[in-house]
Amino acid sequence: SKVSMTSNKSLNVKQILQETWQSGGGVRAFYTGLSLPLMAQAIYKATIFSVNNFCRNILMEFKTRECAGINSMNNNYPLLTTTDLFWCGFIGGAVNAAIFVTPVEYVRNQLIIKQQLSSTREFKMGKDTSKNKKLFHHCRRISPLDVIRSTILSGGGISQLWRGVGLTVARDSIGCGVYFVSMTLCQKNLSPTNDNKPPSFGVTLVSGMCAGIGFWVVALPLDTLKTWIQTTTTNGNILLNSINKHGLLRTTQNLYR
């Protein structure tokens, strides 16, 4: 998992998968912390696309009035620029991240870390894999409510659930801005010229792929850094500490793991 990769920087993908499988109880361990983010996806997408469309409509209305004031005989509708598209997506991603994504991902990351520690202890107690799996399945599962309760009662209060909010907002705002720009530009350039029909399935598919790649190219380093913050209790600047300990090149590589 992403959390395992960032919390165990010395291990590669194969070692992480093997350790998770053996100490976590098989396939089930790869889906630790899934329930809450899965249920939140509907809210995530509804918020991003609603805010994005709202901002686009406001801009279109403003530009239409502006054009009408300059030339009342001009019946052409104004078009949104690439910058307009970016900022509409930026605002949509920022609102969603600030309100919903940060606490949900904090709880998910804490679930993974706590379950990983619990499973590792159980694994060390069992000498064979079959016995370990039995121990894992019979041990008490940690729920999202357990994480929320322990976080609030630990002294940090409810605001602790929003730890890493700055990086989460930066990740999703920039990422969503790039996403909507990439999606629109790809659909425009891949569709036939002077064709007012909706994009074909193939064009939409390729455009979605490009948009997704664009999102994670800019968002992945921020996502990794955010995960570091949400899964550690270390004080101070985590990025600078990593650079001082591992060097700039190694830190950059770890940010893209």
Which of 225, 224, 223, 216 has the alpha carbon at shortest distance from 179? 216
End-to-end Cα distance, the chain: 11
**What per-residue confidence (pLDDT) applies to 120?**
55
**What per-residue confidence (pLDDT) applies to 233?**
65
For the chain (length 257 residues), average pLDDT per consecutive 10? 53 66 64 78 95 96 80 66 96 96 91 71 51 48 85 87 92 96 93 79 95 94 86 70 78 74
**What per-residue confidence (pLDDT) applies to 113?**
82
Which of 253, 169, 183 has the alpha carbon at shortest distance from 214? 183
Give the integer Cα–Cα distance in Å for 33 and 105: 9
**What per-residue confidence (pLDDT) applies to 10?**
55
**What per-residue confidence (pLDDT) applies to 28?**
67
Both tokens of residue 69?
Answer: 């004031």
SS3 205: helix
**Residue 132 CA to chain centroid, in angstroms?**
32
**What per-residue confidence (pLDDT) applies to 136?**
46
Is residue 90 within 8 A of residue 174, CB to CB? The reply is: yes
Count Cβ atoms below 10 Å from residue 143 Cβ, excluding itself: 13
Both tokens of residue 215?
Answer: 């999102």
